[in-house]
Amino acid sequence: MSVTAPLGFRAAGVPAGLKSGGARDIALVVNDGPSRAAAGVFTRNRVKAAPVLWSEQVLTGGRVRAVVLNSGGANACTGPAGFQDTHATAEKVAALLDDSAGEIAVCSTGLIGERLPMEALLAGVDEAAGSLSRDGGLAAADAIRTTDTVTKIAFRRGTGYMVGGMAKGAGMLAPAMATMLSVITTDADVTADELDRVLRRAVAVTFDRLDTDGCMSTNDTVLLLASGAAGVEPDAGEFEKRVTEVCADLARQLLVDAEGATKAIAIEVVGAAHEEDAVKVGRAVARSNLLKCAIHGEDPNWGRVLSAVGTTDAVFEPDRLNVAVNGIWVCRAGAAGDDRSKVDLRPRDVTITIDLSAGTRSATVHTTDLTADYVHENSAYST
Amino acid sequence: MSVTAPLGFRAAGVPAGLKSGGARDIALVVNDGPSRAAAGVFTRNRVKAAPVLWSEQVLTGGRVRAVVLNSGGANACTGPAGFQDTHATAEKVAALLDDSAGEIAVCSTGLIGERLPMEALLAGVDEAAGSLSRDGGLAAADAIRTTDTVTKIAFRRGTGYMVGGMAKGAGMLAPAMATMLSVITTDADVTADELDRVLRRAVAVTFDRLDTDGCMSTNDTVLLLASGAAGVEPDAGEFEKRVTEVCADLARQLLVDAEGATKAIAIEVVGAAHEEDAVKVGRAVARSNLLKCAIHGEDPNWGRVLSAVGTTDAVFEPDRLNVAVNGIWVCRAGAAGDDRSKVDLRPRDVTITIDLSAGTRSATVHTTDLTADYVHENSAYST
C-alpha cells in the first residue's frame, strides 16, 4: 500500500547501480492531483545535505508535484557541485513530467561526503518515470532502504480518504549515513498550511521521540503530500490523528529494525511539571550509553537512570524521584526501592518509567540498547 | 609520591573488605598544617552522592583537615540514611584526629544505590588512621581504584614548594559508578580563595575536557589542599601552572586507562570565534557514538565529524569547515579534501583537527573510541 494507497499517487522503485548487487536504489513518487499541497519537516542539523537545502526551498512554496529519492549516497558535504547534482536531478524529473523543477522535492540517503554517480542516477530516474504505477508504492519503499532489513510502509483509513506512508532508517542508529526519510501521502483535500501544522505536530510526538544514539542526521526529511483526489475535506482532528498514527507506525518500524539492537526501550517520563521537561529527561536517559549497556546486559541499573536525569534542568527534587523497570519500582524517593531481582528484563520490549513527582505531564522517548553489534556495524561502514 | 610529595601531609590506604579479594579500599589523607586552606570542585550532576553533598558543605569553610575516601560503594542515591553514613564517617575521622568533623571531607566511589557496609568501613578508617605516614601516598592512591588498572599519581616541583596528586577513574567511561575522584596537595602557603580560583581554572582545561562517554557522575570530586609547610607564598602564575600540570597529567592517565578503549582521541578545535564554541564543538564530536565507532574501525569518516559539528550553535558556516585526521585534511570547505586513504589510523593516539574558519580561538577535548569491550564491561557491572 505505502504511498500509493491514497488516490492520485503513482510511484516506482528501480535499480540504477548506485547500490551494489542490483538492488533498487531510485524511488519516484508523483502526485497527479488535483491538489499538490505539501509540507515538509527537515533535520535541524546545521550541516544539511544538498537535497535538504533544495527541498526546503521547494517546500516554502507549499506545493510538490513529485519526490525523487535515492539510496546509495547521501549527497551531504559535497559542496556546490553536490547541490548542482540535486538541482540536475530535480530538473530531470521536471522534464520527464513536463512540470516545474521548483515543485520537485529530492531526498538522498547513504554515505556522507561522496558525489553521486550522476549518469547512473539520471538514467535510473528516466527508468523510474517510465515505470510509474498506482501499485508502485512497495517498490518505492524498497528502493530507499540502506541497512534497513525490511521495507517500512504504513497506512490508515480516514472518513472517505486514506493516509499512506513509507520510511527508511535503521532505527536512527546510523544517522550519519542519513538516518531517516519518509514520504506520507493522502488523497484528502487539505491546504499546505494545514498539512504543515499537522505534520509538525505528528513528527514532534513520533519520529522526534526516537533517539537511539543521540546522533542527528544531515539528511532527515519527512514530507506530507495531499492529492485531494478523494474530494474530501477531512475533519481536522481525525486527519491529524490518522497522520500521527502513520508516523507512529513507521517510527515503531524504525525502532524495531535498529542496527545491532536487541531491546526496544520505552523511556516513559511521568509526573513532570511540563511536557518539555518530560521529553528532556527521556532524551537524556535515552542517550546514556551506560544505561543502554546495562539494559543490554539485562541489568536493572536504576542508578544510571538517576545519574542521567540529574544532568537535566527539568523540575525535580532528587529525593522524590521514583523509577520502575518493567513495572518494578526499583527506586523510590531517590533511593533503593523494591527488590531489583524481581525485574524481568528478558523480553525484547523494556519500559523504564521515571516519576519526577513534580506535576502531571508526561512523554515517552524510544531508544534501543547499545550492543557490540552496533559497534561492529558502525566501525566498518565506510571502509 | 602522590599526595604525600608535599610536606605536611600523611596518608594511608588499607583494605577493609568493601571490595572483594582483599584489595585496599579505604584511603585517608591528613593535612598537618600549619595551614589547612582548601578548595573543591564537584560534579554538576543534580543527583549528587551523599559524600558530595557533605563535602560541598565542608568546603564552604575553605578549610580541610583530612579527606577520607572509599572505593567499593558510591553512597549515591541512598537517601537520608546514606547521608548519615557519610556524616558518621567524618565524625569517626574527626574523633581519631581529635578534630572537627566540619573539616573532614568524604569521597566515595563504586556502585550507585547501595548502602555502605558501615561496620567494615569504620573499622577500616580506624586502621587507616593508625597507619598514616609520610610515604602513604601510593597506598592511598591504590585504595581509591575501582576498575582502574593502574594507580594514578602525579607531582610537580615549584620554586620552593611541591604539588602532588592522586586520582581514580577509568577514563570517565564508567561515571555512573562514580567516575572521578582526585586529591591534590601542596606545601605552598596559599589562601583558600586563591586555591579555589586556581583549581577551577585548572579543572576547566583538564578534567572537564575529558569526555569519553558523555555521562556525568554523581560523585566527581577534585580537592586541592594546602599545608603551607614549605613556608613559601608561591608566584600566582607559576602555582597555577603547576596545579594545571598535575591535573593534566592525571587527566591523561584517566584517558589512557579508559575501559575498553583502544584509541586516545584528541579533538582539536581551531579557528573558533570563542573558546566556548571550540569546547562545545569538541564535546559534541567527542560524544558521537558513530564517530567513536568509526575511529575504532580505523576509518577516517569525516562525515560523522561534520554531522556532529552541525548539531551545535557554535559560529561557523558549513561550507567553510575543514577537518584533518592525523594531519591529513580529508575535508576542505565542507566537502571531500585530500585522499582519505593517506590517513594512518593505526597508532593509539588519534588527533582530529576541526577548523571552524570563524576566528582565532581553540580548545582540545579528549575522548576514546567506542568498542565492543566497553559494551561488555558496562553490560555486566552491577550483576
Cβ distance of A289 and B382 shorter than 8 Å: no
Helix (H) or strand (E) holding A203: helix A192-204
pLDDT of A329 reads 97
- Mutation to test the B interface, candidates A212, A290, A309, most B Cβ within 10 Å: A290
Q: Is A306 an interface residue toward B (CB < 8 Å)? A: yes
Q: How far is A260 from chain B (nearest CA, A)?
A: 12
CA atoms within 13 A on the CB side of B141: 25
Across A115-140, average pLDDT: 97
B positions 331-350 inside 8 Å of A (CB): 331, 333-336
pLDDT confidence of residue A215:
66
Looking up cell 522526534, which residue turns up?
A: A208
Q: How confident is the model at residue B285 (pLDDT cuts 50, 70, 90)?
A: very high
Residue B199, H or E segment: helix B192-205
Question: Which among A43, A109, A151, A179 is annotated as catalytic?
Answer: A179
Which residues have a Cβ under 8 Å from the Cβ of A281 and sit 6 or more positions away? A267, A269, A272, A309, A312, A314, A316, A354, A356
Residue B221 pairs in a beta bridge with B42, B181
Instruction: Tell me the pLDDT tens digit for each residue of A141-194.
Output: 999 998 888 999 999 999 999 999 999 987 544 443 446 899 999 999 999 999
Distances B159 to B162, B232, B239, B240 between C-alpha atoms, Å: 8, 8, 9, 12
Question: What are the sequence ranges of the domains in chain B?
Answer: 2-256, 264-379
**Chain B interface includes A311 (CB < 8 A):** yes
More confident residue, A59 or A214: A59
Residue length of chain B: 383
Q: Do domains B2-256 and B264-379 have the same CATH topology?
A: no
Distance CA A354, CA A362 (A): 10
Strand pairing report for A335-336 and B361-368: unpaired
pLDDT of residue A160: 97
Choice among A255-259, B139-143, B237-241, B304-308 with the minimum mean pLDDT: A255-259
Residue A115, C-alpha cell as written in the block: 558525489
DSSP class per residue in B296-343: HTT---HHHHHHHHTTS--S--GGG-EEEETTEEEEETTEE-S-GGG-
- Tell me the C-alpha distance between B280 and B271, whole Å: 13
- What is the per-residue pLDDT for B218? 84
Burial of B21 (0-12, 13-18, 19+ CB in 10 A): exposed
Confidence at A21, pLDDT banded by 50, 70, 90: confident
Taking the Cβ of residue B42 and every Cβ of chain A, the question of whether any pair is shorter than 8 Å is answered with no
Say if CB A153 and CB A185 are below 8 A apart: no
Q: Residue B340 above 80 pLDDT?
A: yes
pLDDT number for residue B376: 81
Query: Any CB–CB contact under 8 A between A82 and chain B?
Result: yes
Helix (H) and strand (E) counts for chain A?
A: 10, 15
Residue A237 falls in which region: left (phi positive, over 0), alpha (psi -120 to 50) or beta: alpha
Calculate the alpha carbon distances from B153 to A129, B3, B4, B134, B251 in Å.
68, 8, 10, 15, 10
Of A79, A215, A308, which has the smallest distance from its Cβ to B334's Cβ?
A79
Contact B355, A270 (CB under 8 A): no
Which pLDDT score is estimated for A197? 98
Report whether B34 contacts B227 (CB < 8 A): yes
Using CA atoms, how far apart are residues A222 and A240, in angstroms rounded to an integer? 15
Please give the residue of chain B at the shortest CA–CA distance from A302. B113
Residue B216 clears pLDDT 80, i.e. is over it = no
- What is the rounded average pLDDT of the residues B332-354? 95
pLDDT score of A380 more than 80? no
Q: Which residue in A46, A82, A294 is closest to B378 by CB distance?
A: A294
Query: What's the CA gap between B203 and B200, in Å, rounded?
Result: 5
Helix (H, G, I), strand (E, B) or coil at A354: strand
Neighbours of B344 (CB within 10 A): 13
Q: Give the pLDDT band of residue A107 (cuts 50, 70, 90).
A: very high
Please state the φ and ψ torsions of residue A50, each to the nearest 5 degrees.
-55, -45
pLDDT confidence tier of residue B215, bands split at 50, 70 and 90: low
Q: Dump pLDDT digits (tens) for A340-356.
A: 999 999 999 999 999 99
Report the pLDDT value the prediction gives residue A213, as an integer from 0 to 100.
66
pLDDT, one tens digit per residue, over A47-67 is: 899 999 999 999 999 999 999
pLDDT for residue B174? 40
| CATH code at A2-256 | 3.60.70.12
End-to-end CA separation in angstroms for chain A: 36
Of B76, B293, B312, the CB nearest to A375: B293
Confidence of residue A118 (pLDDT cuts 50, 70, 90): very high
Cβ contact (<8 Å) for A319 and B79? yes
Specify the pLDDT at position B353: 98
Q: Is B179 a catalytic residue?
A: yes
Contact: B45, A336; criterion CB under 8 Å: no
Rounded CA gap, A101 and B163, in Å? Answer: 69
Here the ipTM equals: 0.84
Q: How far is A201 from chain B (nearest CA, A)?
A: 22
Q: Identify the DSSP state of A260.
A: T
Distance from the Cα of B171 to chain A's closest Cα (Å) equals 13
What is the DSSP code (8-state) at residue B22?
G
Tell me the mean pLDDT in the region A102-108.
97
Contact A78 B174 (CB under 8 A): no
Please answer yes or no on whether A311 and B45 come within 8 Å at the CB atom: yes
Q: How deeply is A119 buried, as exposed, middle or buried, from its count of CB atoms within 10 A (0-12, 13-18, 19+)? A: exposed
Instruction: Evaluate the omega torsion of the peptide bond into residue A34 and state whether it is cis, within 30 degrees of 0.
Output: yes
Residue A45 confidence (pLDDT): 87
Q: What is the C-alpha R_g of chain A?
A: 21
State the cell numbers at B230: 614549605
B321 touches chain A (CB under 8 A): yes
Q: How many cross-chain Cβ pairs, A to B, lie less than 8 Å apart?
A: 235
Q: Thinking of the domain B264-379, which architecture would CATH place it in?
A: Roll (3.10)
* From A293, A301, A307, residue closest to B375, measured CB to CB: A293
